[in-house]
Structure 1
Amino acid sequence: MISTLLSQLQHGPDGDPTPRLAYGADYNPEQWPREVWEEDVRLMREAGVTIVSVGIFSWARIQPAENEWDFTWLDEVMDLLYAGGIGVDLATATASPPPWLSTAHPEILPVTASGETLWPGGRQHWRPTSPVFRDHALRLVRKMAERYANHPALVAWHVSNELGCHNIYDYSDDAARAFRDWLRARYSTLDGLNHAWGTAFWSQRFSDWEQILPPRLAASYPNPTQQLDFKRFSSDALKEYLRAERDLLREITPGVPVTTNFMVMGGTKGMNYADWADEIDFVSNDHYVLPGPQDRDELSFSANLVSGVAGGRPWFLMEHSTSAVNWQPVNLAKRPGDLARDSLLHVAHGADAVCFFQWRQSAAGAEKYHSAMVPHAGRDSEVFRAVADLGHTLRTLAPVAGTEREPARVGIVFDWESWWASEQDSHPTSRLDYRQEALDWYSALLALGVRADIVTTRTDLDRYEVLIAPVLHMVSAALSKELTRYVEHGGHLVTTYFSGVVDENDHIWLGGYPGALRELLGISIEEFGPLLDGDTVELEPGPDGGTTGTLWTDRITVTDPEVEVLSHYRGGPYAGRPAVTRRTVGRGSAAYVSTRLGVDGLTGLLPRLLAPADVRSELPDGARGSVELIVRRGADSRYLFLVNRTDETVPLTGLSGELLIGHAGDDGAPVLSPRDVAVLRQPAT
């Protein structure tokens, strides 16, 4: 079914039977006078645009008052786009309530942990659990669906927008009531809840459900399992809201696919997207490059994770930027080549659509300095020329549409609940950064030229010969059993400090760390050794010299004779003790890294950890570390995306195939210019 739904987007409203990569943007015609609209459609066709998202922030325009509706302008926009051969991903317009609604019903407004109301003036000022908001929002959704159900431009529904971006955590009375209902469903009885939350500590035992509140501002640290459950509940509350809109849309327009735009990027962590993915017909994502030394590695990591969340199936890039954004401390314009490289990295990792925020750069409002496909400078600009060039490139890459990403031999496990739990308060260190640790492992593999997939614990782990699970803090008995089975049957597991420590209730696995993984790893840790800011530890020299650890150390005792110590601490209180271990188990192995090594340290260590599976780079020697390789596979062809990670020219001698995009050298092999991308087509084997 998913391929059928995707094909509606790949073919668009013109019925062209040839699959294509969709291309477009958020389109906000309500910001512009009527005379601009026809020029917009003309420029869209010039740029190769095939799809736009319309109506995202249009609630106040569509419904100016509670019993007043105005669809005339939107009817005209839909007709113009269809006449121009451009499909519409029509938003339900529920992302931000209009002023009349928040004025008449201030009880829809979110409340912070300290009891402050979040007032109108920005966006997303609504409670996910507000019955009043839901009634009004679903009334709008019904009106939209009934009006445009049979419009030929409609190719998909876009539920709300970036659900949870600003309102993931609401501590209102509505949230308190919904939280209690969620807890009743999870635990059935107060005794079950009291056990899970460990309420014997600090005299917190509940005797009535009405005593339970969200973890509002407290005199000291709130109950840790209460905090964790509130994170779970908050993600579920938005998921339930997503379902409510989706179910109504499916009732009225059963043949139109439904999506919503995730935000797998940077520090966005409140929504468990691995849990949400099955609720929609195809996965969509928004991504913006964050400044820093690993900026494009983070882009690749996020796109890779979206593919993992989507189960390897094609997905849609709903938003990214042509150049500068407006919300970072310093908003840098992209360099020449970055627009295309960023876009094609997403395509390489499975995106079948490349869309931007937004089509025409706003003249007013909070995002007027955010770049767009048509900038303030207009059509005669470097940005628009790059936009049109990318449209041409995507047409050339049409054969890639509908193909899936070819699995790598290495998987990196990313687990939302371990992310939530590992970074809570009252821990050995507040400096732990779960996502950064995972990104460091990914960057180190990129530096070695080794392909890796970012996967969730819901993935079939057996498809990977090496499984890296950094800071897998929360491990249930079932997951522990599954990881043990994986290793015994020939898989090679690598995990790190602060892994396996707690169960799904955030209770410590007793008997010594790393708890649920202790027997599998063949080690025991009596006490953690977190490091102060600026403190480091040295590990004994490896093949490339010494290695420095930061953030964390462990006092490891080897408990199994099958454990090989790959590295010891060279100084500090744990001098001479194991720092990196590996235990042979059945046909596989389980390794443990007890400190944060950073990208450079992991780059030096990884060849030893990959050796039992004989995992090596698939790139020519001169390209390792400089080029990222991602592979998409169809029934008859493999598509090798080769992305230059550097500002230097890189030859790819030794790689062959039909060059779909890119440049060839004198020997016929691809040559990557700085920040360039090449795509080779090879026969599938």
Structure 2
Amino acid sequence: MNKIYYGAALYPELWDRETTEQDIKEMKKLGMNLARIGEFAWSTFEPAPNQFDFSVLTETLTSLAEHEIDVIICTPTPTPPIWLTANYPERLHRNHQGVTMVHGSRQHICTNNRYFRERAAILVEQMIAAVAQFNHVVAIQLDNEFKCHVGPCYCETCKQEWHKWLASKYGTIDTLNNAWGTAIWSQHYQSFEQVVQPVSTPFLHNSSLQQNYLAFTHAKLAEFAAEQTKVIKKISPIPVTHNSSMFFDLDNELLADQLDFISFDTYTPAGKHPGFMMNQERWRYMKNDTRRTMLLETSTSHNGHLDLYGLLHPAGYLQAESFATFASGVEAFSYWLFRGQKSGCEQPHGSIVSSWGEPTIGYQPAKQVGELIEQLRPLLESSEVMEPRVALTYSDRARSFLTVEPGEDYDYKTLVTSFYQGLLALNIERKLVPEGHNLAETELLITPYVHYISDQFLEKVIKFVAQGGIWIAGPMTGDRTEEHTWHTDSGLGALTELAGVKEMMQFPTTGSGHKGEAFGTSVELSGLSSLFTVEDDVIVHGKVTAGQAQGKAFLIERALGKGKIVMVGTVLEQNALQVVIENYAKPYMAKHVAQVAEEIVIIKRKTNQGALQYWLVNFSDQPRSLVLEKEWRELLSDKQLGVGKHVIEPFGYRVLSQK
């Protein structure tokens, strides 16, 4: 793998030179070789328009170079200074309730405001010119956590940009009216300038209006990222990245197109290891031209701010996190933050050193992670993670459809996590992929909760299936158009004929008494369910046995070329879902390892000589066991593990290798 990075965020603008020097020396002592700096320092770097002072930045870079610590420079655009917004409310973010943000936090600016973008470009140009001479700057991070605290903006600038975006997409207002079905409720528009923003209204807005406003917001944010990247690339070839998250209101696939590689933050607490592992197994696959990614923010002990004190990590949890991160092929494990903040709103957040300079509760775990990395380094450098053949579609565009139509309070991440947990519990190799993922190294693709299937995605999947792949689609997949309208030709549009569906009815089955059976397992139907009458060449694996739709199918399979399409029409309980997953994914379960406790995660790697390795980590605070069906060599202890039951201590880890 690439260089193994271990580090933390530094804020030299908040401290005197002596304190920063102490922190850098302590970082080196802990085995750290990476620092992130700059993302909130705009007022330090440009205290007044065109008065630039990057001395604190360049002095810190010099000190870090002396201690052989590489650096990620962050552009400080999430925190515009007061001179940019005072007396200019039109430059500020306005939420859907019409409330205009004020100075004092972060992300209070409208990133579509033209003057803001001009000032941001000037600042970034000056900043990159100041740091380009330092060859230990290994990446530039754009901004910080785009859309962490805010959603779409509804200011006058955005209203004007919204109308331009619509005109560009639809060409004529008649095209928009036809696509959105605006004859309903007299919503018809006579010009693009009349199209409203989806702010407060007596009831609900048109689904197409809401869907397109989210798409507009995501496109404009990606445009802002592209503008910053262009400025950077004019001056320096340093790779550009961004620290994103599963939770922010973004289209990360669209954002990743503007970056050399994408990075991520996660603050997943103990007890929710599927959420932690989803991050490790998503961001590597966001781009087709690179598998590079970094974890740029996690906590040493707990997160927190004035309104919330986070839960303390159990002893050993941080080591388990770091082990899983590097085993998954992630290049960096970095904390927010090194020295606790003495002011602001995030003083309660965990750190390595307190604001008064003493070790925190997170110091010893951070030290232990540094020691673990040195133990793992030769194994990591002589092996690489194996790309899984089972892929689970995770699409921010699909998530936006559930934002518009949450139905039974649906949360996209929670729904997809149930599928991921099924793969994890069965120790099936897995990756989370965007809609644009190249399927060349995939054999089984699972695509739940993607209401709209684009022509491009469907064309790719048809080719994938025809060549021998298996595609499991649903529930709630393919049942809406791009405009978030219902199909009018058939229930699933183009997918109807492919899946061999004659007729389809869709209705909410939760609490309706609809029951069924699939692969010998009893099922209680729930959620917005699609129930089918099928063609003769379709195999019915799941049929409704009780309820008003008795006799209809909810789980079907049809051959296509060398592969097959499987449609899931209802939200399955976890045990039934795992039965379905196992039926199709059994060939991809970890070989020669059985009866693995649910909290033990297995990651496949191979050595430079091609030998198989299993990297195992126990995410439980209790001992957990597994059964080996053949002998393995455990590389960390250099011991032979025989056939039979073995126990991994709380938050423990093992590296098993073929003999």
Q: Same fold (TM over 0.5)?
A: yes
Matched residue, 1:431: 409
Find the aligned partners of 2:518 and 2:121 in 1 and give their Cα distance. Answer: 63
> Residues 663 and 508 of structure 1: is their aligned pair in 2 closer, same or farther, counting only changes over 3 Å?
farther
- What's the offset of the Cα at 1:348? 2.7
- What's the offset of the Cα at 1:656? 6.2
Matched residue, 1:220: 203
**Residue 278 of structure 2 is aligned to residue 304 of structure 1:** no
Matched residue, 1:579: 554
Find the aligned partners of 1:377 and 1:666 in 2 and give their Cα distance. Answer: 47
- Correspondence list, 1:560-599, <5 A: 560-599=535-574
Matched residue, 2:582: 607
Q: Which moved more, 1:637-646 or 1:497-506?
A: 637-646
Matched residue, 2:618: 644
Find the aligned partners of 2:383 and 2:638 in 1 and give their Cα distance. Answer: 23
Find the aligned partners of 1:402 and 1:150 in 2 and give their Cα distance. Answer: 32
Q: Output one character per residue of 1:468-487: Cα deviation in whole Å (capped at 9) or x when no partner.
A: 11122101334334333332
- What's the offset of the Cα at 1:95? 1.6
> Residues 199 and 338 of structure 1: is their aligned pair in 2 closer, same or farther, counting only changes over 3 Å?
same
- What's the offset of the Cα at 1:592? 2.0
> Residues 290 and 624 of structure 1: is their aligned pair in 2 closer, same or farther, counting only changes over 3 Å?
closer
Kept in 2: contact 1:260–1:280 (CA 8 A): yes
**Residue 600 of structure 2 is aligned to residue 627 of structure 1:** yes
- Correspondence list, 1:443-592, <5 A: 443-532=421-510, 537-540=514-517, 542-543=519-520, 545-558=521-534, 560-592=535-567
Find the aligned partners of 1:619 and 1:272 in 2 and give their Cα distance. Answer: 39
> Residues 258 and 403 of structure 1: is their aligned pair in 2 closer, same or farther, counting only changes over 3 Å?
farther
Matched residue, 1:262: 244
> Residues 356 and 537 of structure 1: is their aligned pair in 2 closer, same or farther, counting only changes over 3 Å?
farther
Kept in 1: contact 2:630–2:643 (CA 8 A): no
Q: Which moved more, 1:90-99 or 1:396-405?
A: 396-405
Find the aligned partners of 1:353 and 1:336 in 2 and give their Cα distance. Answer: 22
Matched residue, 1:419: 399
- What's the offset of the Cα at 1:218? 2.4
- Correspondence list, 1:181-260, <5 A: 181-253=164-236, 255-260=237-242
Structure 2 residue corresponding to 1:347, chosen from 326, 338, 347: 326
- What's the offset of the Cα at 1:129? 0.7
Look up the SS of the partner of 2:536 in the other structure: coil
- Equivalenced residue count is 653
Aligned residues with identical type, % of pairs: 26
Look up the SS of the partner of 2:585 in the other structure: helix
**Residue 352 of structure 2 is aligned to residue 373 of structure 1:** yes
> Residues 521 and 324 of structure 1: is their aligned pair in 2 closer, same or farther, counting only changes over 3 Å?
same
Kept in 1: contact 2:592–2:628 (CA 8 A): no
Find the aligned partners of 1:679 and 1:418 in 2 and give their Cα distance. Answer: 37
- What's the offset of the Cα at 1:444? 0.7
Structure 1 residue corresponding to 2:370, chosen from 391, 396, 402: 391
- What's the offset of the Cα at 1:333? 0.6
Find the aligned partners of 1:71 and 1:618 in 2 and give their Cα distance. Answer: 55
Find the aligned partners of 2:359 and 2:243 in 1 and give their Cα distance. Answer: 31
Q: Which moved more, 1:360-369 or 1:639-648?
A: 639-648
- Correspondence list, 1:83-122, <5 A: 83-122=66-105
- What's the offset of the Cα at 1:366? 1.1
Matched residue, 2:124: 141
Kept in 2: contact 1:513–1:524 (CA 8 A): no
Please tell me the residue identity of whatever aligns with 1:642: L
Q: Output one character per residue of 1:599-625: Cα deviation in whole Å (capped at 9) or x when no partner.
A: 2221233222336xx444335113264
Q: Output one character per residue of 1:450-493: Cα deviation in whole Å (capped at 9) or x when no partner.
A: 11111122112243222111122101334334333332332211
> Residues 285 and 404 of structure 1: is their aligned pair in 2 closer, same or farther, counting only changes over 3 Å?
farther
Look up the SS of the partner of 1:411 in the other structure: strand
- Correspondence list, 1:6-21, <5 A: 20-21=3-4
Matched residue, 2:18: 35
Find the aligned partners of 2:641 and 2:257 in 1 and give their Cα distance. Answer: 48
Look up the SS of the partner of 2:471 in the other structure: strand
Find the aligned partners of 1:378 and 1:619 in 2 and give their Cα distance. Answer: 50
What are the ranges of 5 or more consecutive residues in structure 1 without an aligned counterpart? Answer: 1-9, 11-18
Kept in 2: contact 1:539–1:547 (CA 8 A): yes
Matched residue, 2:65: 82
Kept in 2: contact 1:414–1:456 (CA 8 A): yes
Kept in 1: contact 2:392–2:431 (CA 8 A): yes
Kept in 2: contact 1:477–1:503 (CA 8 A): no
Q: Output one character per residue of 1:280-339: Cα deviation in whole Å (capped at 9) or x when no partner.
A: 122111112157x6x110111122111221336121111111121115866211111111
Q: Output one character per residue of 1:124-183: Cα deviation in whole Å (capped at 9) or x when no partner.
A: 111111011112222211221222221344222121111222244111111111122222
**Residue 68 of structure 2 is aligned to residue 48 of structure 1:** no
> Residues 167 and 626 of structure 1: is their aligned pair in 2 closer, same or farther, counting only changes over 3 Å?
closer
Look up the SS of the partner of 1:546 in the other structure: strand
- What's the offset of the Cα at 1:651? 4.8
> Residues 157 and 570 of structure 1: is their aligned pair in 2 closer, same or farther, counting only changes over 3 Å?
same
Kept in 2: contact 1:579–1:593 (CA 8 A): yes
CA RMSD in angstroms comes to 2.8
- What's the offset of the Cα at 1:97? 0.8
- What's the offset of the Cα at 1:24? 0.6
TM-score between both structures, scaled by the size of structure 1: 0.88
Kept in 2: contact 1:403–1:634 (CA 8 A): yes
TM-score between both structures, scaled by the size of structure 2: 0.91
Please tell me the residue identity of whatever aligns with 2:649: S
Look up the SS of the partner of 1:570 in the other structure: strand
Q: Output one character per residue of 1:194-226: Cα deviation in whole Å (capped at 9) or x when no partner.
A: 333233333333332322343222233222222
**Residue 331 of structure 2 is aligned to residue 358 of structure 1:** no
Q: Output one character per residue of 1:353-392: Cα deviation in whole Å (capped at 9) or x when no partner.
A: 1111111122222111111233569655552121112112
Please tell me the residue identity of whatever aligns with 1:623: V
Please tell me the residue identity of whatever aligns with 1:555: L
Q: Output one character per residue of 1:502-543: Cα deviation in whole Å (capped at 9) or x when no partner.
A: 2223232224323332122222454323145x6664333754
Matched residue, 1:334: 313
Q: Which moved more, 1:463-472 or 1:667-676?
A: 667-676
Find the aligned partners of 1:610 and 1:539 in 2 and give their Cα distance. Answer: 22
> Residues 339 and 171 of structure 1: is their aligned pair in 2 closer, same or farther, counting only changes over 3 Å?
same
Find the aligned partners of 2:547 and 2:357 in 1 and give their Cα distance. Answer: 61
Look up the SS of the partner of 2:71 in the other structure: strand
Structure 2 residue corresponding to 1:288, chosen from 241, 252, 267: 267
> Residues 379 and 344 of structure 1: is their aligned pair in 2 closer, same or farther, counting only changes over 3 Å?
farther
Matched residue, 1:15: none
Find the aligned partners of 2:613 and 2:69 in 1 and give their Cα distance. Answer: 27
Kept in 1: contact 2:633–2:639 (CA 8 A): no
Find the aligned partners of 1:219 and 1:629 in 2 and give their Cα distance. Answer: 51
Find the aligned partners of 2:170 and 2:383 in 1 and give their Cα distance. Answer: 42
- Correspondence list, 1:140-159, <5 A: 140-159=123-142
Matched residue, 1:319: 297
Kept in 2: contact 1:414–1:438 (CA 8 A): yes
- What's the offset of the Cα at 1:242? 1.0
Look up the SS of the partner of 2:533 in the other structure: strand
- What's the offset of the Cα at 1:261? 1.2
